[in-house]
Amino acid sequence: MSADMPAFETLAIEPVDEHVVIVRLNRPDASNALNTQMGRDLVRYFEDTALDPKSQRCIVLTGAGDKAFCAGGDLKERRGMTDEAWTRQHVIFERMVRALIDCPVPIIGAVNGAAYGGGCETLAAATSSTRRRARALR
């Protein structure tokens, strides 16, 4: 990872070349389930990209491993949450979806396994962003 590329706890950021980057959901032991930290990491990555896309022309969003793209929300994490913690997590996930939709760089969903619940929603947000940009270019 380059010095100007921030580190993330739950994402692996892999530049392919100066214009393409792979964003990999990186919790393969949990089928890449969305936990609070992954929500924060996705918000940070896509909001930072929106503010300064540099020379990026394409983001490939995929999951680590071959079992699941994203199993949805991390139910093990949610089991122990208070109502207040769940509400805070929900706000983070709403910001995550908005950050994906508002990303100025086209996002390709490279689905490498199951995509359940929040995993499907994440893909829908990413691809709706790309479809909206494609329509604007017509």
Residue 38: CB atoms within 10 A of its CB come to 28
* Every domain of the chain and the residues it spans: 11-137
What whole-number distance in Å separates Cα of residue 134 and Cα of residue 109? 15
> Which whole-number Å values give the CA distances from 94 to 5, 17, 98, in the listed order?
24, 30, 6
State pLDDT tens for residues 17-31: 999 999 999 999 999
Structure tokens at 99: 């950050």
C-alpha pair distances (Å), 4 with each of 34, 71, 92, 98? 25, 30, 24, 24
> What's residue 42's pLDDT?
98
Which band of pLDDT confidence, cut at 50, 70 and 90, is reported for residue 59? very high
- Residue-wise pLDDT for 26-54, tens only, equals 999 999 999 999 999 999 999 999 999 99
Pick the CATH number of 11-137 from 2.30.130.10, 3.40.50.1970, 2.60.40.10, 3.90.226.10: 3.90.226.10
* pLDDT mean over 59-71: 95
How far apart CA 83 and CA 36 sit, in angstroms, is 14
